[in-house]
């Protein structure tokens, strides 16, 4: 298999060299030219932008989708109240108003949020968009029986008072939800059950993209989502392909953000992942819509070929690969034993498991640097001694009363070679200070439901260390940290992503952050939480992941957005439009 890949790469490399630049000039291209800046800026309209997806969309319905790439892409055919600014670098993690005229206006207690929507907005059929269409859209997204895939933030935070779904709603206009008020056609008011200072992040969810009730067909709406954006569906073969064309009812005057360069957008679904890479490199395809980077074989090929590497970007993401240290399992209930693990870990090997520097940077704490307000702290010398700090580890072992080390288990997802490599690297590094790891692979499908994510199981099976990874739904402290450090989200029944963090002080700080409407102050609290977790040594950060994206010379206006950790799909154009 390895030999096969190598051969393939060789042959393909020979092909790729002559075909790149078939549709674009690519001059001035350099490695990471699309990171922190716009590569190949252009205002030329026209052409067809071609996407492909190796998997399938969970749904094209704004109420039912939970993939970052989908949230990135959906802005082409829908407008939510607010969105991440299509800007390179850190600016891309900032929210700007879209459907709304301004960002949300909170009440003093952060429990009521008000938005005014822009005038003159129309659906693709010409009917006017009102605040009631937004309310209806949010209402239907609450129905998790019909739309199980989407996020549950509105279910969790709105003051529902038993409201379940517009489909069960006895009121004639189906707008019976009291938690959202529409005093007039341009105003929408959200009432929360508990204070939440970061509500604008909820307002950027696709669920706020207006849906005309008359056109709502429930589970079938995804076949033809009624557009409010610059593009609308021309055809849609679910699970196979769909095509977007210009929406003549979209009024650029109401939209200061979207450039809408291409005339047409084609998306192929269910394409072979390796073939996607080959097509990108040959100029036969413009974007791998999933935005999770090229396949491992392609990555090696790109990094070793300067002609290909200059068209690649290593995009920082909000993903952290880390290892939970379980304080329920003796002797890791002793903080010094946990610290010994932190010190002894070999971060160079951890990074190598994820593909070396191109796969990500060594993480010193939880919050990835691209999250606004993140502060890097390095309590256990990961940065200065990336190969491990055995001396400090031994001292901690002394204090823990285990001078000659101890034995424990480490779990990982069996189907993931990178996690296996991580576990093996940990096993080797920790053995140097006498900590003996027994590796325990579990099937990834049930890793959180039945194994590592089920507290009883982890405790009874002495899973002292558990490899895991986490990525924020959006780049902010709440989005990143809440699900992995709040002890109150841990369920005894399993399915947890917080495997080891049970610190009352952290829970308290989270509550405080939710109340703090001042962005800077709030961001400081999240950074503080991050540091507290590190002090308790219940998590061993490994790598802040990067994905290697290939940027075909066919594209214009290319940059990586911190909002999604991939190319921004809103601004892309195509190079030679006379296609």
Partner 1 sequence: MTAYIIRRLIAAVLLLLVVSVATFAIFFLVPRLAGASAEDLASRYTGKTANAEQVRVMAEKLGFTDPLPVQYGRFAKGLVLGADYSTGPTTEHCPAPCFGYSFITQNPVWPDLLDRMPVTLSLAAGAGVLWLVGGVATGVLSAVRKGSVFDRAAMGVALAGVSLPIFFTGLLALSLFSYKLGWTEPGGSYTPLTESPLAWARALLLPWVTLALLYAAGYARLTRAGMLETMNEDYIRTARAKGLPERTVVLKHGLRAALTPIITIFGLDVGLLIGGAVLTESTFSLPGLGKYAIDAITNNDLPKVLGVTLVAAFFVVIANLVVDILYAVVDPRVRLS
Q: Is 20 in the site for partner 1 (CB under 8 A)?
A: no
Q: Is 89 in the site for partner 1 (CB under 8 A)?
A: no
Tokens representing 468 are 């895991």
Interface with partner 1 in residues 121-140 (CB under 8 A): 140
Q: At its nearest, how many Å lie between partner 1 and the CB of residue 45?
A: 25
Q: Is 390 in the site for partner 1 (CB under 8 A)?
A: no
CB-based contact 186:117 (threshold 8 Å)? yes
**Of the candidate residues 32, 58, 263, 385, the single one contacting partner 1 (CB under 8 A):** 58
**Of the candidate residues 48, 236, 243, 268, the single one contacting partner 1 (CB under 8 A):** 268
- Grouping H, G, I as helix, E, B as strand and the rest as coil, residue 417 is helix
Buried b / exposed e over 445-469, threshold 16 CB at 10 Å, is eebbeebbbbbebbeebbbbbbbbb
Q: Is 143 in the site for partner 1 (CB under 8 A)?
A: yes
What distance in Å separates the CA atoms of residue 173 and residue 129, rounded to the nearest whole number? 16
Q: Is 194 in the site for partner 1 (CB under 8 A)?
A: no
- Residue 295 CB neighbours (<10 A): 20
CB-based contact 97:108 (threshold 8 Å)? no
What distance in Å separates the CA atoms of residue 67 and residue 62, rounded to the nearest whole number? 11
Q: Is 10 in the site for partner 1 (CB under 8 A)?
A: no
Instruction: Choose one: 79-87, 98-106, 268-276, 309-317; the region binding partner 1 (CB under 8 A).
Output: 268-276
Residue 215 CB-density burial (10 A; 0-12 exposed, 13-18 middle, 19+ buried): middle
**CB nearer partner 1, residue 317 or residue 402:** 317
**Of the candidate residues 25, 37, 235, 272, the single one contacting partner 1 (CB under 8 A):** 272
**Of the candidate residues 36, 46, 89, 218, the single one contacting partner 1 (CB under 8 A):** 218
CB-based contact 574:262 (threshold 8 Å)? yes
**CB nearer partner 1, residue 9 or residue 103:** 9
What distance in Å separates the CA atoms of residue 460 and residue 463, rounded to the nearest whole number? 8
Q: Is 459 in the site for partner 1 (CB under 8 A)?
A: no
Tokens representing 403 are 């001078």
Tokens representing 43 are 């205002």
What distance in Å separates the CA atoms of residue 562 and residue 88, rounded to the nearest whole number? 7
What distance in Å separates the CA atoms of residue 7 and residue 422, rounded to the nearest whole number? 27
**Of the candidate residues 42, 59, 70, 498, the single one contacting partner 1 (CB under 8 A):** 59
Q: Is 556 in the site for partner 1 (CB under 8 A)?
A: no
Tokens representing 537 are 């040594």
Q: At its nearest, how many Å lie between partner 1 and the CB of residue 92?
A: 23
What distance in Å separates the CA atoms of residue 33 and residue 38, rounded to the nearest whole number? 8
Q: At its nearest, how many Å lie between partner 1 and the CB of residue 321?
A: 17
Q: Is 478 in the site for partner 1 (CB under 8 A)?
A: no
Q: At its nearest, how many Å lie between partner 1 and the CB of residue 272?
A: 5
Instruction: Choose one: 233-241, 316-324, 506-514, 534-542; the region binding partner 1 (CB under 8 A).
Output: 233-241
Instruction: Choose one: 58-66, 315-323, 431-439, 545-553; the region binding partner 1 (CB under 8 A).
Output: 58-66
Closest listed residue to residue 463, CA positions, set 429, 421, 426: 426
**Of the candidate residues 122, 144, 246, 462, the single one contacting partner 1 (CB under 8 A):** 144
**Of the candidate residues 160, 390, 450, 490, the single one contacting partner 1 (CB under 8 A):** 450
**Of the candidate residues 185, 263, 275, 424, the single one contacting partner 1 (CB under 8 A):** 275
Residue 534 CB partners (closer than 8 Å, separation 6+)? 365, 366, 377, 379, 380, 541
What distance in Å separates the CA atoms of residue 516 and residue 159, rounded to the nearest whole number? 20
Q: At its nearest, how many Å lie between partner 1 and the CB of residue 172?
A: 14
**CB nearer partner 1, residue 33 or residue 54:** 54
Q: Is 403 in the site for partner 1 (CB under 8 A)?
A: no
Residues interacting with partner 1, by CB under 8 A?
A: 4, 8, 11-12, 15, 18-19, 52, 55-56, 58-59, 66, 140, 143-153, 155-156, 165-167, 216-220, 238-241, 268, 270-272, 274-275, 278-279, 282, 284-285, 445-446, 449-450, 483, 491, 493-495
């Amino acid at each position: 298999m390895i030999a096969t890949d190598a051969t393939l790469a060789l042959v393909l490399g020979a092909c790729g060299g002559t075909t790149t630049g078939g549709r674009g000039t690519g001059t001035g291209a350099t490695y990471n030219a699309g990171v922190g800046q716009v590569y190949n800026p252009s205002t030329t309209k026209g052409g067809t932008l071609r996407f492909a997806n190796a998997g399938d969309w969970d749904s094209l319905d704004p109420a039912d989708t939970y993939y970052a790439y989908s949230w990135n892409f959906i802005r082409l055919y829908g407008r939510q109240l607010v969105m991440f600014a299509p800007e390179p670098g850190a600016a891309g993690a900032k929210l700007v108003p879209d459907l709304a005229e301004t960002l949300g206006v909170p009440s003093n207690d952060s429990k009521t949020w008000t938005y005014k929507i822009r005038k003159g907005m129309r659906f693709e059929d010409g009917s006017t968009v009102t605040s009631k269409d937004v309310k209806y859209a949010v209402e239907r997204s609450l129905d998790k029986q019909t739309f199980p895939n989407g996020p549950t933030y509105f279910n969790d935070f709105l003051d529902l008072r038993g409201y379940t779904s517009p489909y069960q709603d006895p009121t004639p206009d189906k707008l019976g939800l009291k938690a959202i008020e529409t005093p007039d056609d341009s105003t929408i008011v959200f009432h929360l059950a508990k204070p939440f200072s970061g509500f604008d992040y909820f307002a950027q969810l696709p669920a706020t993209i207006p849906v005309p009730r008359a056109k709502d067909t429930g589970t079938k709406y995804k076949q033809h989502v009624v557009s409010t954006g610059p593009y609308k569906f021309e055809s849609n073969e679910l699970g196979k392909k769909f095509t977007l064309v210009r929406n003549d009812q979209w009024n650029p005057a109401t939209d200061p953000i979207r450039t809408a360069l291409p005339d047409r957008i084609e998306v192929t679904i269910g394409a072979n992942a390796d073939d996607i890479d080959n097509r990108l490199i040959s100029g036969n395809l413009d974007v791998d819509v999933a935005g999770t980077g090229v396949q491992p074989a392609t990555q090696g090929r790109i990094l070793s070929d300067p002609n290909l590497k200059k068209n690649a970007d290593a995009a920082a993401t909000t993903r952290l690969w880390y290892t939970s240290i379980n304080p329920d399992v003796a002797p890791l209930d002793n903080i010094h034993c946990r610290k010994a693990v932190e010190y002894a870990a070999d971060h160079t090997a951890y990074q190598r498991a994820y593909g070396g520097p191109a796969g990500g940077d060594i993480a010193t704490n939880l919050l990835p640097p691209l999250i606004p307000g993140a502060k890097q702290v390095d309590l256990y010398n990961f940065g200065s001694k990336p190969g491990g700090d055995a001396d400090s580890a031994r001292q901690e072992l002394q204090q823990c009363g285990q001078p000659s080390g101890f034995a424990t288990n480490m779990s990982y997802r069996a189907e993931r070679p990178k996690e296996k490599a991580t576990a093996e690297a940990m096993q080797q590094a920790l053995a140097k200070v006498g900590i003996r790891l027994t590796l325990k692979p579990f099937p990834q499908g049930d890793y959180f439901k039945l194994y590592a994510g089920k507290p009883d199981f982890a405790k009874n099976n002495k899973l002292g260390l558990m490899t895991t990874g986490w990525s924020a739904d959006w780049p902010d402290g709440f989005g990143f940290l809440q699900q992995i450090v709040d002890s109150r989200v841990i369920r005894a029944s399993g399915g947890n992503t917080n495997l080891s963090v049970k610190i009352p002080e952290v829970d308290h700080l989270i509550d405080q952050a939710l109340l703090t409407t001042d962005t800077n102050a709030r961001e400081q609290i999240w950074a503080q939480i991050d540091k507290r977790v590190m002090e308790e040594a219940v998590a061993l950060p490994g790598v802040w992941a990067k994905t290697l994206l290939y940027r075909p010379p066919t594209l214009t206006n290319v940059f990586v957005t911190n909002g999604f950790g991939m190319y921004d799909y809103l601004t892309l154009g195509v190079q030679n439009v006379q296609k």
